[in-house]
Amino acid sequence: MQVIEFRSKSLRSLKSLTYGIQPKPGASAAPVHVSYSRQGLQRRNAIKASDRLQIPVIGLYAGYVNQVMLEFVFDDDSVELLTATVVTPTYKNPVLDSPTIIRKRQPETDLGFNYMVMKSEQGSPVIIDTDGEVRWIGTGIPSGQASTFQDQGFYVGSRTSTQFSRVELDGSITSFTPTRAGYAYFHHNIDQGRNGLLTEVATTTSAASVIAELDMASGFHREWDLGAILSAYMSSRGDDAGAFVRDPADWFHVNAATYRPSDNTLIVSSRENFLIGIDYDTSEIKWILGDPTKYWNQFPSLQDKALVLQGPGDYPIGQHAVSITRDDLILVFNNGQNSSRQPVGAPAGMSRAYSTVSAYRIDPLNRTATEVWGFDYGQSILSGICSSAYETADGSLLIDYAYVAQGDYVRLVGLDRTHQVVFDLQFPNKSALTAWNAMPVPLDDIRFD
């Protein structure tokens, strides 16, 4: 990110400003496109005086002579076009600056996204384009593991405390530290909830079985303690809940959650056990979908909530990144690796030699689930831990195989709406830290109002 300054008396009547960055020759990703209303400029303190304007330009190519095209629109709807040249220093990073392009995106391909964020434990989230070029990286962020892109910026949870930060694309950071008794730090993902952001929070008594909803205004305002929810339910049905809920051991290992408005359900991903759907308001358990050969299915009370998979398909095994598709299906990255934290001698479940992306339709009334569609890349890739898959509005998919070849590589794969591979980028990896999760971001359509 670099700042461009303009001086002109006509800025007093400026109504809006838009800029784009000319793509490199041969690039396939759509150009960066950013627009500001006058109010957006004022809120971000870009108007320094009646005749002076400073614009932070995001999405520049590193080590390149960037051409930035600007369009100024004034109150009388007149337009002024300018071009600015911005020379950027080389970005040196042995992991990110030289990806292996297994399949290059072609310019004519139709894809529902052009930019994506790689979430890493090693530092800031990193935005790259579908050509593999680094286009944005933040500063002052020790870990971007627990993060999400919302409202034209990042929300990031600390891995060492309950500090929660809003990171703008211009690099500015606003932080606060919400408090709740027993909360220690954030881990895994941040997802959109009904009334705020869903976060996974480690507590002094639980390693990874608590979901907390929060926002920057009011902090923590809702909690779902899966240990407490499952214990109460199992005990009420006569099961020995303590044999399953084994705090402080990492018996649940929550790694994602999502809200489905159509039935007011919070869907939580437990890597060790299953997907579980609970009522958002009452926390009543609605259904469980998971590998029935795992330890959890030895408890009759949990069997009573289990869905049976109908027809061809795979149960979710070690899954990550649960979300809801445009067709109201439940989407997961279906890793295929069995459990690693069950009691000694307890069944760890099945394993597969490949990972899939699976989209499920559930029928709680008849206690069934159907894998409506899946993508397994010809059963050619196993990513046993971490990883993600997210759908865009047009049905395209971004898949992050975060732990390929026992963790040597991460592969980011883009599929069009017919699930054909559009691009396939491979980066060096270190224990799934390069991109444990990745999601599309709209750097080609950023609006500040």
How many CA atoms are closer than 13 Å to the CA of 245, on its beta-carbon side? Answer: 20
Alpha carbon distance 239, 245 (integer Å): 11
Residues above pLDDT 90, as percent of the chain: 88
- Predicted confidence at residue 1, as pLDDT, reads 79
Q: Are 151 and 169 in contact (CB under 8 A)?
A: no
444 falls in which pLDDT band (50, 70, 90)? very high
274-291 pLDDT tens trace: 999 999 999 999 999 999
Domains of the chain are: 2-87 (2.60.40.3100), 100-448 (2.120.10.30)
409-442 pLDDT tens trace: 999 999 999 999 999 999 999 766 899 999 999 9
Distances, alpha carbon 222 to alpha carbons 129, 140, 185, 197, 321, in Å: 36, 29, 16, 10, 21
Alpha carbon distance 125, 281 (integer Å): 33
Residue 345, token pair as written in the block: 């001698």
Element (H, E) at 53: strand 52-57
Nearest to 74 by CA among 33, 4, 17: 17
Nearest to 7 by CA among 39, 50, 37: 50
pTM of the model: 0.96
The mean pLDDT of the chain is 95
- Residue 301: which region, alpha, beta or left (left: phi > 0; alpha: psi -120 to 50)? alpha
87 falls in which pLDDT band (50, 70, 90)? very high
Helix (H, G, I), strand (E, B) or coil at 258: strand
Alpha carbon distance 434, 400 (integer Å): 11
304-347 pLDDT tens trace: 999 999 999 999 999 999 999 999 999 999 999 999 999 999 99
- Predicted confidence at residue 431, as pLDDT, reads 64
Task: Identify residue 315 by its one-letter amino acid code.
Answer: Y
- Encode 216-233: b = buried (16+ Cβ within 10 Å), e = exposed: eeebbebbbbbbbbbbeb
- Predicted confidence at residue 432, as pLDDT, reads 61
> Does 260 score more than 90 pLDDT?
yes
Q: How many CB atoms lie within 10 A of CB 93?
A: 12
137-196 pLDDT tens trace: 988 888 999 999 999 999 999 999 999 999 999 999 999 999 999 999 999 999 999 999
- Name, in order, each residue with C-beta under 8 angstroms of 158's C-beta and a sequence gap of 6 or more: 142, 143, 146, 164, 165, 185, 186
Distances, alpha carbon 47 to alpha carbons 43, 76, 88, 168, in Å: 9, 19, 24, 17
Q: Cα-Cα-Cα-Cα dihedral of 114, 120, 122, 123, to 10°? A: 60
